[in-house]
Amino acid sequence: MDSKFTNSVPPAQSALLTRDHIRAIASEAGFSEAGLIALPHPNDERDADRFTAWVRAGRGGTMQYLSRLNEEQQLARARVATPFPWARSAVVCLASYHNAQPKSTDSAPADAAWIARYAWSSRVDAEGKRKPSDYHKVLLKRMKSLESQLYQEFGTFESRAYVDTGPVVERSLATAAGLGWTAKNTCLIHPTLGSYVFLAVLLTSINAEPAHTPLTLPDRCGSCRRCLDACPTNALDAPYQMDATRCISYLTIEHRGPIATELMEGMGRQVFGCDICQDVCPWNRKAPIAVDPELEAREELVNPALDELAALDEHAFEQKFNGSPVRRAGFTGLRRNVAIAMGNSGQQRFQSQLHAWEEGDDEGLRAAAGWALKKLNERKS
């Protein structure tokens, strides 16, 4: 999600955004933490080179939006200045979604699926009913509130706000703004909040106060490699290196069609996203539980039963996940993921459902169901 505000008259040259003020108004808007960085930031070129090399190595898979080029054939996302030459500062806000619910690595029934905890978000509506909440919309509304406050204070300026969908690498900007370090699992880790955080970015044409000391935090992963060792598909093939084409989150959400058979067993019971590399991280054990009424967990999405998800028809899928990030996987995509989880469950009672899916029209679902049946039959014998 994004918002755009463009004005014809720039703020006075002497106008400066300050970190303390940004943190204060971001807190008022509902964010857990916020940072500010002048653009281009000190590691701008280094980060652009790393992103470019990652994309050109094909590690982004089929996520074509990551490799989008501008008219000069430059990667749009590599550096902020490419699509937004007017940007002089970046406000980066964090919203924690940590909760007290079980982790994916905790014991669970053999027939339970796993939906990534960020997709559990919900709120209670005016009638007292719990409804799904899309963090994109929740955080964009908060960012617009912050943007509006700045407009009142600074007058006219140019800006652009994004929550996960713009041509910016939010994690790099958050790291540059001193909000954490990039961990070995490639997630941002805030020293207090951990890595269960959403990121939102506001680019502005207002200058930011200069940093008198380096903002970047030291890497505190040390010798720990729990995330690398825990990744069941070897997507983290080296510290600080992510091959998205092997990542369970990518496979279950972004990838369309059949999934490589050699990756299916490692996908375990994950049907939407994956939390394993975060759930094993020691920094998340210390993170406080978030109190955010717009991002509370929907308990029915915690360890949901595979057969209940399989029983959803397309209409029921839309009803259950309308307004939820889970819709991004699509109806057939979620079924494909459920079929793989059924094969990994060892539960023979899923055979009839898998046989039905093996005869279906969708190639990805057929392939997943066929693999799952073979997997169950191997266990049976």
Q: Which residues contact 319 (CB under 8 A, 6 or more apart)?
A: none
- Each residue's pLDDT tens digit, 370-379: 999 999 999 8
Which residue from 221, 227, 231, 228 is spatially nearest to 181, judged by alpha carbons?
221
CATH number at residue 147: 3.40.109
Amino acid in position 216: T
Question: Cα–Cα distance between 321 and 302 in angstroms, integer?
Answer: 14
17 three-state secondary structure? strand
Question: What's the number of domains the chain is made of?
Answer: 1
Question: Cα–Cα distance between 88 and 37 in angstroms, integer?
Answer: 9
Report the phi/psi class of residue 238: left, alpha or beta, with left for phi > 0 and alpha for psi in -120 to 50: beta
Instruction: Return the pLDDT at 116.
Output: 98
Instruction: Return the pLDDT at 381.
Output: 67
Instruction: Return the pLDDT at 8.
Output: 43
- The single residue of 134, 164, 219, 362 carrying the catalytic annotation is 164
Q: Does residue 146 contact residue 3 with C-beta atoms inside 8 Å?
A: no
State the average pLDDT over residues 256-276. 97
> What does the CA dihedral 220, 225, 231, 233 come to, rounded to 10 degrees?
120
Instruction: Return the pLDDT at 13.
Output: 55
Q: Which contacts qualify for 213-219: CB closer than 8 Å, 24 or more apart?
A: 214/42, 215/35, 215/37, 215/176, 215/177, 215/178, 216/42, 216/43, 216/175, 216/176, 216/178, 216/181, 217/175, 217/178, 217/180, 217/181, 217/191, 218/181, 219/181, 219/182, 219/183
Confidence of residue 111 (pLDDT cuts 50, 70, 90): very high
Which residue from 25, 37, 31, 135 is spatially nearest to 93, judged by alpha carbons?
31
CA angle, residues 344, 345, 347, in degrees to nearest 5: 125
- Each residue's pLDDT tens digit, 144-171: 999 999 999 999 999 999 999 899 999 9
Instruction: Return the pLDDT at 211.
Output: 81
Assess if residue 31 is contained within a domain.
Answer: yes
Question: Cα–Cα distance between 139 and 145 in angstroms, integer?
Answer: 10
Assess if residue 194 is contained within a domain.
Answer: yes
State the average pLDDT over residues 304-320. 97
Assess if residue 152 is contained within a domain.
Answer: yes
Query: Has residue 93 got a pLDDT over 90?
Result: yes
Instruction: Return the pLDDT at 9.
Output: 45
Question: Cα–Cα distance between 242 and 234 in angstroms, integer?
Answer: 9
Instruction: Return the pLDDT at 10.
Output: 52
Instruction: Return the pLDDT at 71.
Output: 79
Q: Reduced to 3 DSSP states, what percent helix, strand and coil does the chain have, rounded to the nearest 5? A: 40, 15, 45
Question: Cα–Cα distance between 319 and 304 in angstroms, integer?
Answer: 16
Question: Cα–Cα distance between 322 and 338 in angstroms, integer?
Answer: 19
Query: Has residue 53 got a pLDDT over 90?
Result: yes
Which residue from 97, 95, 131, 132 is spatially nearest to 324, judged by alpha carbons?
132
Assess if residue 163 is contained within a domain.
Answer: yes
Assess if residue 305 is contained within a domain.
Answer: no
- Each residue's pLDDT tens digit, 208-253: 998 877 789 999 999 999 999 999 999 999 999 999 999 999 999 9
State the average pLDDT over residues 8-32. 84
* Omega of the bond leading into 40 within 30 degrees of 0 (cis): yes
Residues forming beta bridges with residue 35, ordered by sequence position: 92
CA-based torsion, 62, 63, 69, 70: positive or negative = positive
Domain that holds residue 201: 2-99+127-208
* Known catalytic membership, residue 44: no
Confidence of residue 73 (pLDDT cuts 50, 70, 90): confident
Assess if residue 360 is contained within a domain.
Answer: no
Confidence of residue 82 (pLDDT cuts 50, 70, 90): very high
Assess if residue 190 is contained within a domain.
Answer: yes
Query: Has residue 1 got a pLDDT over 90?
Result: no
Assess if residue 363 is contained within a domain.
Answer: no
User: Which is it for strands 188-189 and 33-38: parallel, antiparallel or unpaired?
Assistant: unpaired
**DSSP character string of 178-214:** TS-EE-TTS-EEBTTTBT-EEEEEEEESSEEPPPSS-
